[in-house]
Amino acid sequence: MRQTTNKKATNTPKAAPWVDRFLEIVERVGNALPHPATLFALFAAGVIVLSWIAAQFDLSVTHPGSGEVIQPVNLMTVEGLHRIITEMVTNFTSFAPLGVVLVAMLGIGIAESSGLIGAVLRLLVISAPRKLITFVVVFSGVLSNAASEVGYVLLVPLGAIIFLAVGRHPIAGLAAAFAGVSGGYSANLVLGTVDPLLAGLSQEAAQIVDPNYLVNPACNWYFMIVSTFLIAGIGTWVTEKIVLPRLGEYSGSQKPDELKPLTQEERRGLKYALVATIGLIILVLWGLIPEDGFLRGAEDGSILHSPFMKGIVTFIFISAAITGIAYGIGAKTIRSDSDVMKGMGKAMERLGIYLVLCFFAAQFVAYFKWTNLGLIIAVEGAEILKASGLGAIPLMIAFVFFSAFSNMFMGSASAKWAILAPVFIPMFMLLGYSPELVQVAYRIGDSVTNIISPMMSYFALIVAFVEQYEENAGIGTVIATMLPYTIVFLIAWIILLSIWMLLGFPLGPGAELYISLSN
């Protein structure tokens, strides 16, 4: 049965009663949860209490790598109180994800405020042949997630406008863009703000087991690149074969808007940005290709452990800032240094609540590490998993499903990972699986249910966009439209991960699938 946006139509499909009941429960439970920052404050307090309870029992485990006997540390003591008081500030300022996200967003703020990101997205979409328009919309959505929320506020409504302009159902265009932006959140050709954020949390968790373990922000990059084309292709297929046939012809009141081409100023700005990009690429290659290149490692001349790889966040900042400024000069959207600083300031303004979240998350992670609870749980959990007899691929698939399910109740990728990483990364490390592999399994599960989770930050905005084209639309409309993407993305990504593990490919630069703690 086809769905129509005609107000007089009576053949709009209804969700099954059990689906409605489930979504009502999810919405009610989600709305009842405190703010994520409040949750972390409660978790931090809970860890302190749990440390006291654990200390009352004769708990101990033996570290599989070092042979050291690990016991819980009670924070409800005078010494524990002193440590909490004296290290609160350093817990926050040394929290790994904090600095990297702030630095990356400063550069991306310039690129966004100058208009560079918006112009690039429009150019990608409006210059594509009609036969490729769906693929380009999904593909552009995937690329846009490198710049945080830009895709949600710019590309998702633009997808609807584009489809309407070419005579197709606008909600299908909106769905295709949303599937790329949010469902493809863990795919991209370039690194974005989420990569150093998650890598920082993974590193914090990995150091519970190995204090010297480092997680590169580019640790999932190879897998992300392949995933980009997978999600773009699968998203196109779902849109063409499932979503568009179900929606049928659009008969609503919205009229197509003219999709305006880039102005002369915008095109000049893109040329300036292209020149700047080429210059940056030449500079980086000059520093990496020669054996004595200035961006290679000083000791062994390697690229893997080079300042370039360790400082990838710095290069994200520099690249976004320089290309953004170049575009702004060419397009005349930047006329003075004040415009640059205002763009950076606006990016920081949007991170206000993120700073609050980081403060409490940093305390939680620190307390969890101090108490040894994460390591004790990891060792015991690893023994249970080892006894289960499940192989590497079934374990990772199970974790993908667990991550996908938890995303239905807590929308923030970083907030969930800050909770899950200190437990699951040490647990899997003790079984020989790398933090990078655990992180990529988490990212798959977190991405595929973004588009059907009412807890996702921008879900309400997507519902509002849909209502512009269908007055009676609601949460059920969005979920019914997006559910095929979730199911197909989940299946396709699990197959890709399984093949990747069978072939033993690295997930990114220096990011192998397995580790040996004895080394």
**What are the mean pLDDT values of the chain's consecutive 10-residue runs (519 residues total)?**
37 46 51 68 91 86 68 92 95 78 82 83 71 87 71 76 81 91 82 79 87 87 93 93 83 66 91 95 91 82 72 83 95 92 87 80 84 76 71 88 77 72 85 91 89 71 78 74 90 95 91 77
On whether residue 137 sits in a domain, the answer given is yes
Cβ-in-10-Å burial (0-12, 13-18, 19+) of 502 comes to exposed
**Residue 172 domain boundaries:** 40-503
Nearest to 116 by CA among 272, 225, 240: 272
Please name which of 292, 323, 342, 283 lies closest in space to residue 120, comparing C-alpha atoms: 323
Examine residue 509 and state whether it is found in any structural domain, yes or no.
no
E strand segments, 420-510: none
> CB under 8 Å to 482, separation ≥6 — which residues?
175, 178, 179, 183, 451, 452
Q: What pLDDT shows up at residue 10?
A: 35
Q: How far is CA 66 from CA 210, 375, 516, 518, in A?
A: 10, 13, 12, 8
**376 inside domain:** yes
Residue 337 CB burial class (10 angstroms; 0-12, 13-18, ≥19): exposed
Q: Output the pLDDT for position 16.
A: 45
Structural domain count of the chain: 1
Is 438 within 8 Å of 428 (Cβ atoms)? Answer: yes
195 in a structural domain: yes
Write down the pLDDT at residue 501: 93
Backbone angles phi, psi at 69, to 5 degrees: -85, 125
* pLDDT of amino acid 519: 47
Q: Is residue 8 part of a domain?
A: no
Q: What's the token pair of residue 5? A: 């946006």
Region for 252 from its dihedrals, namely left if φ exceeds 0, alpha if ψ lies in -120 to 50, beta otherwise:
beta
Q: Read off the pTM.
A: 0.67
Written as six digits, the tokens of 386 are: 């080892």
DSSP codes joined into one string, 254-274 = PPPPP-PPPPHHHHHHHHHHH
Q: What is residue 196's predicted lDDT score, i.e. its pLDDT?
A: 80
In the block, tokens 């703010």 appear at: 35
Report d(CA 203, CA 211) in Å as an integer. 9
Cα 114 to Cα 259, 321, 334: the distances in Å are 21, 10, 6
Question: Would you say residue 352 lies in a domain?
Answer: yes
- Asked whether residue 18 is assigned to any structural domain, the reply reads no
Q: Does residue 351 lie within any of the structural domains?
A: yes
